[in-house]
Structure formats: structure tokens, C-alpha cells
Amino acid sequence: MTILKSLRNSTFTASAVFQGMLSVHSQISLCKAHSISKQPLSSGQSSLRVINSNKRKLVQSTAFDSHQCSTHSFSVSAKMDVENSPPPSDRCAIITGVARSTGIGRILVHHFLKNGYKVVGADVKELELKVTEGRFEEDPIVKHSADRFYFVRADISDPLQAKRIVDEAIEKFGGAIHVLINNAGITNPMLAEENRIKAFADTIAVNLNGAYYMSQCVLPYMPAGQSSIIHMASTRALQSEPNTEGYAASKAGLCGLSHAQAITLAGRVRVNAVLPGWINTDPSGDAALRPEDHEWHPAGRVGVPNDVAHLCFFLCDSERAGFITGQEFVIDGGATKKMVYPE
Ligand SMILES: NC(=O)c1ccc[n+]([C@@H]2O[C@H](COP(=O)([O-])OP(=O)(O)OC[C@H]3O[C@@H](n4cnc5c(N)ncnc54)[C@H](O)[C@@H]3O)[C@@H](O)[C@H]2O)c1
């Protein structure tokens, strides 16, 4: 069926092809420039008191277990503090899954930087930089690396590494994190029978567990009424092709996680899921898209990462999107609303 082909064609499953890559040496230099911490985490219980960025409201977290990344008994105001929400230049976002220079995560980083945010990007892989005419200086993350962008290399499926991302973000940019976008994900098709159990577990570990760990670690630093979590799900949460149980279950799980957290964190943090359809994250592969690929979508085209970035940015705006929490936003050019008959 066309939709299955479309989903299979998604560049998320393909190996990354970029405009250009930094040499290994340059990547290592950038990594060093960002002072990636390899220090072990302190263990045990600690008590955190985080004053939000406008210094008015106290957000307390007691007994934050640094190993478990879990939070217990928050003392928070039920009143949303939208009117005191700081301007974007005083806001900080953590975005996971940012390594690929043309991936959704990286375009999210560009979008939030362009709109004034400080951004911490995290990925299990090293950063790729876009090279234009032999130079990488024009890449937005290089331009902002000194003051408004920071990269942490870490595996979010490990709670300790998830906590390290948040610790380094706080160390770099101060005491508040207003936005978390759990964008990192793997597809891991479950084709070989003998690998199915492992493939399923690995996919859930990154796509679902990792998103939960990141949320739990970041919560003590989120100012009440000014903060937003977005889980990057997929239309695969709603429809499937064969052998995608792990991916589909993880993405549907993110939808459940979103509404559960929205209720748990009511009055404090808004939590929503974004469900992209076919997003072409390989600009150099544009030529491979056929006219019928675009026409098949009711919107008349295949999606691009900027479509997702615009939606996410809107959802993180406490003023404009302050009445939106616990919801699922399909962004697929209308594809999932199209009736499909046998060919
Ligand atoms: N591209 C699409 O058509 C599409 C459609 C629906 C949903 N999505 C979702 O959007 C997100 C971004 O997809 P993309 O297409 O830009 O692909 P991408 O490969 O550029 O992004 C995924 C990133 O997550 C990182 N990652 C994987 N495991 C990790 C881990 N354990 N810890 C930290 N980082 C890890 C990868 O290294 C990669 O950089 C994914 O969650 C994907 O499921 C994409």
C-alpha cells in the first residue's frame, strides 16, 4: 500500500546522507570545546530547591533520587504563572536526538536558537556539522556554540546518562529548563525472528524509557506554569506495517505517557505528544521523491522538519498554547485521514 511504502521510504530508516560532514578530527575538537563531562555522578539522595527564573515562585522537590531520576512530593503552586513567563532569551530548552545535521532534532535546535532560546542538544552519536563550500562556520550550532548552544553526548536509555544531560545543562545555563523535547528515537525493524525480543526491548528502552528518564530528571528544574514537555511520537502510534511492533508500541506509549504526565503535572508543566507522518529529513534525497509521493498527501506534499519545528515551538509557548496539555498532534499532511482501499 502506498502509505506503507511512504513510511518505509522515510529517511529516518535510511542511513544518514548529509550535505557534508566534519572530519573526525574537527568533530573531536568540537566535542572538546564543549567540555563534555565524563565525571561520575554522585550517588544517593539529595534535596533540591529550585527557584524559578523570575525568582518569585519556589518549586520544591524533596528526596530527588539522583540514581533513579525520580521525583517525589513536589510542592508546587496550582496556579499557572504564564503572565510571568520569561522572554525566549531567558528560556532554556533541552532537545534530544540532534546529531544528524538534517534530522528533525537538529532543525528543532536551529528553530529554538533562532527564536532566542538557549539550547542543550543531546545524542548518543557525535554531532555532524553542515559544511557549506568547505566551511562549517555557518552552521547555526557553531555560531551559537559559545553562548547559547551546548552539546552533551549521552545515551538516554541509561538513567544516569539522562541525568548527566540535565546536570550539564544546569551547570552551563543556570537553574531553569523551560522546554524538554524528547525527539531521540530508533526504528530497529524486527525482521529476524531470533532478534525479536531484543529488538523490541531495545526500541522501548530508547524511545519510551529514555523519554521518561529525561522527563523525570528535568522536572525539578522546570518553573511552574512556564514549562512544556513534548514527546516526539509518530503516526506509527496509530497505524502499522508488519514487523514494527517495538517502534509502534514505543510511539503509542509516548502518547499514553503524555496524557498521564499532563495530569500528574497539572498546573505545573504542560505535556503533549507530536505525531509526525512522512517527514523528509534528507534534502539531498528530494529528487528521489516522486510527484505522486507529494500528491498522495491531502496537503499536496511530503513533510519537512520545519513543519514539525513550527508546531513544537507553538506548543512550547506558554501564552499562546497555555490551554493545551495532554494532547496528541498528528502532523502528516492529512495522510492518516485518507481512506485506503486495496490496489
Ligand atoms: N522522519 C520521519 O519521517 C519521522 C516520522 C515520524 C516520527 N519521527 C520521529 O522523529 C524523531 C527524529 O527522527 P529523524 O527522522 O529526524 O531521525 P534521526 O535519526 O535524525 O533522529 C534520531 C536521533 O536520535 C538519536 N538517538 C538514538 N538513540 C539514542 C539514544 N539512546 N540516546 C540519545 N540519542 C539517541 C540518533 O543518534 C539520532 O541522531 C524520532 O523520534 C522519530 O521516531 C520521524
> pLDDT tens digits, residue range 289-301?
999 999 999 999 9
Distance 64 CA to ligand 1 centre (A): 29
Which has the minimum average pLDDT: 147-151, 219-223, 249-253?
A: 147-151
In a domain, 40, yes or no: no
Cβ < 6 A, ligand 1 pocket:
10-12, 96-97, 99-100, 103-105, 123-125, 155-157, 183-186, 206, 210, 232, 234, 276, 278-279, 281
Nearest to 274 by CA among 321, 220, 217, 338: 321
Q: 47: how many CB neighbours lie within 10 A of its CB?
A: 9
Nearest to 305 by CA among 74, 105, 148, 94: 105
In a domain, 140, yes or no: no
In a domain, 105, yes or no: yes
**Residue 303: strand pairing partners:** 279
In a domain, 129, yes or no: no
Which has the minimum average pLDDT: 36-40, 140-144, 307-311?
A: 36-40
In a domain, 6, yes or no: no
In a domain, 16, yes or no: no
C-alpha cell recorded at residue 335 = 495522510
Q: How many folded domains does the chain comprise?
A: 1
Angle, helix 305-315 to helix 104-114, in steps of 10 degrees = 50
Nearest to 49 by CA among 41, 57, 39, 37: 57
Distance 341 CA to ligand 1 centre (A): 30
Alpha helices in the chain (DSSP H): 2-9, 24-33, 104-114, 140-143, 159-173, 196-204, 210-218, 245-264, 291-295, 305-315
Query: With contact defined as beta carbons under 8 Å apart, do 124 and 184 qualify?
Result: yes
Mutate to test the pocket of ligand 1, among 8, 11, 124, 182 (most ligand atoms within 8 A of CB): 124
- Point out the ligand 1 atom lying closest to the alpha carbon of residue 186: 27
Distance 186 CA to ligand 1 centre (A): 6
In a domain, 103, yes or no: yes
Instruction: Report the distance separating Cα 96 and Cα 121, nearest Å.
Output: 6
For residue 258, what is the domain's CATH number?
3.40.50.720
Nearest to 84 by CA among 179, 180, 224: 224
pLDDT bucket at 25, cuts 50 / 70 / 90: very low
Domain that holds residue 302: 45-124+147-337
In a domain, 50, yes or no: yes
